[in-house]
Chain A
Amino acid sequence: MPEKNLIEIEGLSFKRGDRVIFDGLDMVVRAGQITAIMGPSGTGKTTLLRVIGGQVRPDSGSVRVGGKDVCLMSRGELFELRKDLGMLFQSSALFTDLSVFENVAFPLRVHTDLPEDSIRDLVLMKLNAVGLRGARDLEPSQLSGGMSRRVALARAIALDPSLLMYDEPFTGQDPIALGVLLSLIKNLNQALRTTSLVVSHDVRETLRIADYVYVIADGVVMGQGSPESIASHESDRVQQFIHGSPDGPVPFHYPADDFVYDILEDAAG
């Protein structure tokens, strides 16, 4: 088991307007592991990835990636750091004016001086790893949702990054595409000896591949541990989330005035 921490987050606080997203959040991501961040929609999971990538500056706290605090980095330093990060976006975010091949070649062309032959070989290797070598000449508009995500994954691993971040990778996938993505995340983490951070609210799928799990809600970590320990966590909120109970500590109803009062007030005009 690797001991080094790749990401260390301490006392992270962040507000959007009056809404508190993170309220002194602490988290550690160990190198070489698949760490899952789960939680209900709107709890700031994607924002957390953007904070780690330096796209969002928190109000306070520290976020160290590879020992360096991204909150203190200049714009140039951030762009340098990101060359060693890969991120799979929920929307895949493929460049629509480039073919599948050129999408995967993009980071190689921008960040390396490799000759065209080497770029071609590398792109084909990455596309082969996600099973889409044969789709190299297709345009993004010709791909299904699952294929788009796999191409985006091939692009994310083009430079063999130390950290791969997945933003809701399983959303909207059919069972076959979902199975493919699960095995790809697991296998790539081992083959590339990278660290994976998976943000998701798909409980069953995420618990199958994660080495360590964080459940966040209300801006703090509600529970953490191995997938097994999370499944039997004592917190009611964690249990409600894991089992998908419609009502519980997170109420079914959005906060509102008393229903009877609301109806009567309307009737009274």
Chain B
Amino acid sequence: MIRFVRSVGSQALERLAGLGRSTVMWATAIWGLPGPGDLVLVLRQIYHVGVLSLIIIVLSAFSIGAVIALQFYTQLSRFGAEDAVGLGLALTLLRELGPVVTALLFAGRAGSAITAEIGLMKATEQLSSMEMMGVDPLHRIVAPRLWAGIISLPLLTAVFNVVAIYGGVVVAVEWLGSDPGAFWSGMRDAVELWDDVGKGMLKSVAFALVVTWIAVFQGYDTEPTAEGIGLATTRTVVLSSVMVLAMDFLLTLSMYGDF
């Protein structure tokens, strides 16, 4: 019993110490950038984590938009309400699925890559050698990736929303023959700029902060071995996904929960 309590206590302390280290790292890195000379580092990382994620985002968005439109059309047409497909699609995407699915895909595609890259740099002593050259890896390596993630994820979310709506249009309007006027006007009447678009993007920024934070910390704090990097990469995807889903519930509750 005492051994169990001791083990729980020790693990809790370890987790707390990790949280402390990650907070210090995050704060040090995020305030260390960007100077004008560092802009190119951020732009390079935006290319790696943002531009290179575009393909998976676009393909997933089109597919998800098409599936949602199909489901809405199938159910709503039973009540003769297929004109509401546009507004249902837009609200579902802008408020929930856009930010959440983009963040999940981003964690899997870019978050894992960031963790593996930083972890491998640690294992091959590149971070240590940088430190010994008088260059702070928190500013040179961690900060550009943090900022790139924070900038890229909301932009990817916007792309996701646009492409997913297009996917819905292809299915509902082009294929199943919904009235295009009713589709677009229903969407325009229902969607509010701040309540739907703005709050959705706000969620995306919050997810970006957390996902990139987890990704860079897992890489920076990893055990510098092959096994350690593998575990850290897995932890990034699992932790990020759980955090995104949990945060989404809390954010939705605080933004839309008017009970």
Q: Do A and B come from one complex?
A: yes
**Do B134 and A83 have beta carbons less than 8 Å apart?**
yes
Contact of A87 with B129 in the complex, beta carbons under 8 Å: yes
Please encode chain B, from 139 to 178, with 1 for each CB lying within 8 Å of some chain A CB and 0 for all others.
0100000000000000000000000000000000000000
User: Of A82, A91, A107, which is within 8 A of B125 by CB?
Assistant: A91
- Interface residues contributed by chain B, number (CB under 8 Å): 12
CB of B49, distance to nearest CB on chain A (Å): 15
Q: Which residues of chain A have C-beta atoms less than 8 A from B124's C-beta?
A: 91, 93, 96
Cross-interface CB contact of B134 among A82, A89, A95, A96, cutoff 8 Å: A82
| B100-130 to A contact mask, C-beta < 8 Å, 1/0 | 0000000000000000000000001110110
CB of A98 to closest CB in B, whole Å: 10
Q: Chain A contacts of B135 at CB under 8 A?
A: 79, 106-107, 110-111
Shortest C-beta distance, A8 to chain B (Å), equals: 20
Task: Give the shortest distance, in Å, between B114 (CB) and chain A (any CB).
Answer: 14
Number of A-B contacts (CB under 8 A): 53
**Across-interface contacts of B126 in A (CB, < 8 A):** 93-96
Question: Nearest Cβ distance between residue B175 and chain A, in whole angstroms?
Answer: 45
Query: Which of B's residues lie within 8 Å of A, judged by CB?
Result: 124-126, 128-129, 131-136, 140
Q: Sample 6 A-B pairs with CB under 8 A, ordered by A number.
A: A55-B131, A75-B136, A80-B134, A87-B132, A107-B135, A110-B135
Contacts beyond the supplied A85-B132, A87-B129: 20 A-B pairs with Cβ under 8 Å: A79-B131, A81-B134, A82-B132, A82-B133, A83-B134, A85-B134, A93-B124, A93-B125, A93-B126, A94-B126, A95-B126, A96-B124, A106-B133, A106-B135, A107-B133, A107-B135, A110-B134, A111-B133, A152-B129, A155-B133
Chain A residues with CB under 8 Å of chain B are 50, 53, 55, 75, 79-83, 85-87, 89-91, 93-96, 106-107, 110-111, 152, 155
By Cβ-Cβ distance, the 9 closest A-B pairs, closest first, are A93-B129, A83-B134, A82-B134, A93-B125, A87-B132, A79-B134, A89-B125, A107-B133, A91-B125
